[in-house]
């Protein structure tokens, strides 16, 4: 049975995210600056490079991503932010801004109590992000950068819930109740948070549906890509604790991808997935 403390947190969050003035955690500051910049239709690469260049972590991630196997098949390395942005594209800067924000949160005192979960969660998120890009390009033939972004933020609700739960020591100690909160509410909270951040409808739908079990006969949409990528990643890098949770059922993968195709996708994309994970900071 859900305890009063869980209802209290959910009430607080609902109040915060439903108002016109949403109070976001400071770890999302950099994403706001990037979002505001990217909304300007006249934004130049030079202007964006100046904004990114003011944030050392972000600069480093942009350059690492630009030099990753996924985005640098020629092997010609670059070392400056402007060239990095030209190679990865402006859309990818949004993904990197969230990667920086979440990594800063992981290193904060706020999440020290959840160190075990948060490390696994970051590993899982970056794995899903990389798989999304691969599946979007190889199978669905849709925008790989948007898919990578959806993969990175699909579990942002868990990060956000942990940052709020940190203020309630009794919940931190009650691991079963905490897991119930994280598993049961992260998709809806993630949807509400990303909606308040002004993210596109396609991202919101994909995030809200990423754990809604359903039949998928063909991987065509962003929602399909995220759903399948999350299933694949859960086989090797799940953030859930088996002591409190039965885990994600991944059996549907056999119905949509035969064993040979799944093995081929996994094998073909392994280097790309590893390089993107390393660039985002999750492995």
pLDDT tens, residue order, the chain (283 aa): 568 888 888 888 888 887 666 666 677 778 888 888 888 999 999 999 998 998 888 899 999 999 988 888 888 899 999 999 999 988 888 888 888 888 888 888 888 888 889 989 998 998 899 899 889 988 999 999 899 999 999 999 999 899 889 888 898 899 899 999 999 999 999 999 898 888 899 999 999 999 999 989 899 999 999 999 999 999 988 999 888 877 788 888 888 888 888 887 777 778 877 887 888 775 5
Output b/e per residue, 220-252; b: 16+ Cβ within 10 A.
Answer: ebbbbbbbbbbbbbbeebbbbbeeeeeeeeeee
pLDDT the model gives residue 205 = 96
Q: What angle do CA 192, 246, 132 make, to 5 degrees?
A: 50
Sign of CA dihedral 223, 151, 187, 177: positive
The pLDDT value recorded for residue 91 is 82
CA 55 to chain centre: 20
Burial label for 214, CB within 10 Å (0-12, 13-18, 19+), is exposed
- Closest Cα partner for 272 from 99, 93, 138, 82? 138
Per-residue confidence (pLDDT) for residue 21, from 0 to 100 = 64
Q: Structural domain boundaries of the chain?
A: 23-280
- What lies within 8 Å, CB to CB, of 53 at 6+ separation is 59, 81
The answer to whether 121 touches 159, Cβ cutoff 8 Å, is: yes
d(CA 162, CA 27): 13
Q: What is the CA radius of gyration of the chain?
A: 18
Give the per-residue pLDDT at 100: 87
Which is the CATH superfamily of the domain at 23-280? Hypothetical protein af1432 (1.10.3210.10)
Query: What gap in Å lies between CA 224 and CA 28, rounded to an integer?
Result: 27
Q: What is the pLDDT at residue 142?
A: 96
Rounded to the nearest 5 degrees, what angle is found at the Cα of 169, between the Cα atoms of 238 and 176?
40
Decide: 283 and 126 in contact? Cβ < 8 Å.
yes
Q: What is the pLDDT of residue 24?
A: 64
Res 20: pLDDT: 64
């Amino acid at each position: 049975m859900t305890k009063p403390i869980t209802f209290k947190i959910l009430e607080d969050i609902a109040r915060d995210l439903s108002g016109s003035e949403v109070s976001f955690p400071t770890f999302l500051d950099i994403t706001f600056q990037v979002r505001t910049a990217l909304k300007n239709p006249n934004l130049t690469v030079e202007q964006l490079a100046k904004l990114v260049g003011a944030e050392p972590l972000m600069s480093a991630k942009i350059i690492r991503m630009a030099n990753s196997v996924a985005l640098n098949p020629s092997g010609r390395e670059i070392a400056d932010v402007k060239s990095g942005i030209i190679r990865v594209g402006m859309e990818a800067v949004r993904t990197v801004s969230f990667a920086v924000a979440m990594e800063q949160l992981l290193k904060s005192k706020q999440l020290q109590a959840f160190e075990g979960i948060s490390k696994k969660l970051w590993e899982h998120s970056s794995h899903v992000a990389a798989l999304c890009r691969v599946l979007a390009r190889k199978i669905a033939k849709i925008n790989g950068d948007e898919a990578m972004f959806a993969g990175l933020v699909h579990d942002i609700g868990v990060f956000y819930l942990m940052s709020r739960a940190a203020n309630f020591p009794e919940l931190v100690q009650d691991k079963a109740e905490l897991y119930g909160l994280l598993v049961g509410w992260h998709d809806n909270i993630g949807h509400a948070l990303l909606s308040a951040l002004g993210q596109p409808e396609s991202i919101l739908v994909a995030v809200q549906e990423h754990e809604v079990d359903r039949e998928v006969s063909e991987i065509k949409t962003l929602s399909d890509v995220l759903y399948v990528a999350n299933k694949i990643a859960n086989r090797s890098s799940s953030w859930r604790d088996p002591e409190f949770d039965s885990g994600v059922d991944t059996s549907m993968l056999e119905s949509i991808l035969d064993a040979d195709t799944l093995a081929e996708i996994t094998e073909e994309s392994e280097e790309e997935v590893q390089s993107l994970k390393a660039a985002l900071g999750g492995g």
